[in-house]
Structure 1
Amino acid sequence: MLRNRHDTYGWLYGRFNDFGGAFSYDPEDPDNASIEVEIETASIDSNHAERNKHLRGDDFLDVERYPQATFKSTAVELDEDGTGTVTGDFSLHGVTKPVTLEVEQIGAGPDPWGGFRRGFQGSTRFALKDFGIDYDLGPASQVVEIILSIEGVRQDG
């Protein structure tokens, strides 16, 4: 999900509908965790067709030139409860920069299908101009917050 001030009057929420990735996590060694995420930028959905068209265009995501955004962790610092930070390389709009997500484990346990699931949520904020997006929406709209929610099923072996 992404959140941005909309013309300084309120919050604009959106989401990417097409994404994938993987993570590894060992509760006995949480700092050795890793995560990789791929996001199809054309899947941006702000619940408004004309706004989506603008966000996909040259002023913002330029999805024709930059069809994917990615995140790959480089450092993880989590406590025994799965709370802490994950730093990694975030690529958006042809620019790659390090970002740090504040992370918390949402839950872990058996699921109804006989598996074991674990979920995390992390968020970070960054200036759009840091990733080459400089369309002027006013000073309150220059920073976005990205919220990443992931859930996985333990793979034995």
Structure 2
Amino acid sequence: MFKKTALAAAALVPFTQAHAADYAIDTQGQHAFIQFKISHLGFSYILGSLEEFTGEFHYDPENLAASSASLEVDVTSLTTNHAERDKHIKSDDFLHVDEYPSASFASTGFEPTGENQGVLTGELTLHGETNTIEMPVTLLGEGEDPWGNYRAGFEGSTTLTLADYGIDMSSFPEVMHELELYVTFEGIRQ
């Protein structure tokens, strides 16, 4: 649900061998991940992931403003590897997936901050609320794979304030009011 942001972010990072092209995020080969971490009452962490998503990006190294990225996430695919907890997180107490089964990210800009690094800006829609987020991203690598495809891989992370998305955490300790979102993925040039 949140990982959309990271996927989009990577698409806009400058890389030297790239040409203006469209890339599809490789979710079929399990080379893309949307993960999250949230405090558990200040004693430990709950780690989880969103297993089902699709995304794409366009990257033009000669014109970064023309680069773009988008991601669609199936929020019902959330897992923390604990069935009862997952059921509660997906309930109307938190994500209310019956009413909001998907999340999305669409980039609106990118600003380079160094070699192979930058900040991706975009609109994240989650739980029926849309907010602008910024995600620092890093190019992990690019080039030909053993099967003749051209790939580029990226990672990024950001922190989300859950109240910004209408998720009421007021009955929990303040350390649980924010969630860390981490995204890593490979894109295959189309």
TM class by shorter chain equals: over 0.9
Alignment of 1:1-157 (within 5 A): 1-78=35-112, 81-135=115-169, 136-155=171-190
Give the number of the structure with larger relative contact order, counting CA–CA contacts within 8 Å between residues 6 or more apart: 2
Contact 1:54 1:60 in 2 (8 A): yes
Give RMSD over aligned pairs: 1.4
Structure 2: give runs of 5+ residues left out of the alignment.
1-34
Aligned length: 155
**2:144 and 2:63 mapped to 1: Cα distance?**
20
Q: Which moved more, 1:26-35 or 1:120-129?
A: 26-35
**Corresponding residue SS for 1:113:** coil
Structure 1: give runs of 5+ residues left out of the alignment.
none
**1:89 and 1:23 mapped to 2: Cα distance?**
15
Contact 1:88 1:100 in 2 (8 A): yes
Q: Which moved more, 1:18-27 or 1:84-93?
A: 18-27
**Corresponding residue SS for 1:114:** coil
What's the % identity of the aligned pairs?
Answer: 39
Q: Which moved more, 1:89-98 or 1:143-152?
A: 143-152
1:73-93 Cα offsets, whole Å, 9 max, x none, are 001113574311110000000
Q: Scaled by the length of structure 1, what TM-score is found?
A: 0.93
Q: Scaled by the length of structure 2, what TM-score is found?
A: 0.77
Contact 1:62 1:93 in 2 (8 A): yes
1:12-46 Cα offsets, whole Å, 9 max, x none, are 11000011110112333344321101111110010
**1:24 and 1:99 mapped to 2: Cα distance?**
19
**1:147 and 1:31 mapped to 2: Cα distance?**
24
